[in-house]
Structure 1
């Protein structure tokens, strides 16, 4: 039990810090990015993100991480604006859903994702810069996250700037996140309009609901462990095969799912 709790705490800390590391990288260099590892599906943006682009429009909703911090905006035209979670409080003080914003930054290729460099709304501006010492967002203790479930129709997919699906927005605006390799495994089933169910750990507040999935399926009776279920074990372990923890992590705190999922995973990748 102690080792499982330790792993769960580590997973939560990593989940809380992933977006921060992503959004604070220096401006992309000129020229193409390294290609995605072989066998990883969904890496659509192989070229360099387009620097100096601008998006303008009304804010549809906050994009929240499972800790309850905003790490992005969803605009009405579908653009997903990403920024580090230490800007969450400042962003929420200067705007709200329905306000019109202007965002400048780097736009990914082939997916509607922008890494924010600066944001202007209501006569105020916000710039992406590292947090002052001691101003980084406090990570929640594992016990502060609540066991949650969510379900309904998928309204929108959430992407990384390389084109990997790493979450969904449901019709009721609930945000469900999961590792990109899970998005790659279930790519054919994760489509706007499809039915979706998930259980996991997250937060619910005035700004919205977000959770990290520990099990998912198409119905409540087909939930399947995303880490260690029999249908999600990695295929042959070639150099490009997706890999993930087995029988550990967030899933170890959730009751086992039924043995036969209705959301069938894709066939295993061939050995390289």
Structure 2
């Protein structure tokens, strides 16, 4: 009987000791703020290379996207007439944070003498922000269609269309259509591209939910006065691919 009594006592003591250890560990965890193991953090988002905070901020209502003739968003027009240009990555993400009619804030470089801004970051009305993560690199060129349907544009010019260097390259119409003619054509056709002027143009481009944009091939005050021009994306003059002179370099011994 003594043996059984001693065994029972030892078993009871072991249970009490184990319980004390568990309680002690829980109390220690509570003192040190111990928490259950957290889930793995989400993947780190790419951050801008440079501090964008010192850049001037331009705010206003987004009136329309400025499309390229291929339908890509090359920028946006604000209610005060400011044209905001952005690299391709920023343009692709813009519809996800802001739509026409909403307020936006742009961190970017303001033009001198022209109502233009080169955007490096854009914040939408719900606090969502997109930023150029490669501000030191040159902006990627926008594609321009070489073939496609002819799109006519008829109406009144709202403002000259600038490029990122402040050069006029076409016109923005009051119906939000965008007409590209190229810098050299814009210089000689300046009277047709002034605000308030009537304009007819036709060329390859896009027309859809986001807007209309064309590379003009014919342009004039109306259809009866339209003239032919070289489109803004026309290839440089020279022999066509596959011809005998295509591989000849001007000025070389082969060309003489």
Give the TM-score range, shorter chain. Answer: 0.5 to 0.7
Give the CA deviation at 1:138.
9.3
Aligned residue for 1:63, secondary structure, equals strand
Could you say if the C-alpha distance between residues 223 and 129 of structure 1 is closer, same or farther in structure 2, counting changes exceeding 3 Å? farther
> Which string of whole-angstrom CA distances, capped at 9 and with x for unpartnered residues, describes residues 68-92 of structure 1?
1111010001111100223333111
Gaps spanning 5+ residues in structure 2: where? 1-48, 241-256
Aligned-partner Cα distance in 2 for 1:90–1:161: 19
**What TM-score results when the alignment is normalised by the length of structure 2?**
0.64
> Which string of whole-angstrom CA distances, capped at 9 and with x for unpartnered residues, describes residues 236-272 of structure 1?
xxxxxxxx956999xxxxxxxxxxxxxxxxxxxxxxx
Aligned residue for 2:190, secondary structure, equals coil
Give the CA deviation at 1:164.
1.7
> Which string of whole-angstrom CA distances, capped at 9 and with x for unpartnered residues, describes residues 165-194 of structure 1?
112111211111121111111123321000
User: Pick from 52, 57, 61: which aligns with 1:54?
Assistant: 57
Aligned residue for 1:96, secondary structure, equals coil
The 5 A counterparts of 1:134-213 are 139=143, 142-143=146-147, 145-213=148-216
Could you say if the C-alpha distance between residues 141 and 110 of structure 1 is closer, same or farther in structure 2, counting changes exceeding 3 Å? closer
The 5 A counterparts of 1:39-78 are 52-78=55-81
Aligned residue for 1:173, secondary structure, equals coil
The runs of at least 4 aligned residues of structure 1 exceeding 3 Å deviation read: 136-143, 244-249
User: Pick from 129, 132, 139: which aligns with 1:128?
Assistant: 132
Gaps spanning 5+ residues in structure 1: where? 1-25, 28-50, 229-243, 250-272
Aligned residue for 2:171, secondary structure, equals strand
The 5 A counterparts of 1:41-120 are 52-120=55-123
Could you say if the C-alpha distance between residues 182 and 86 of structure 1 is closer, same or farther in structure 2, counting changes exceeding 3 Å? same
**What TM-score results when the alignment is normalised by the length of structure 1?**
0.60
Q: Which residue of 2 aligns with 1:226?
A: 229
CA contact (8 A) 2:192 2:220 kept: no
Aligned-partner Cα distance in 2 for 1:85–1:200: 23
> Which string of whole-angstrom CA distances, capped at 9 and with x for unpartnered residues, describes residues 27-46 of structure 1?
9xxxxxxxxxxxxxxxxxxx
Aligned residue for 1:87, secondary structure, equals helix
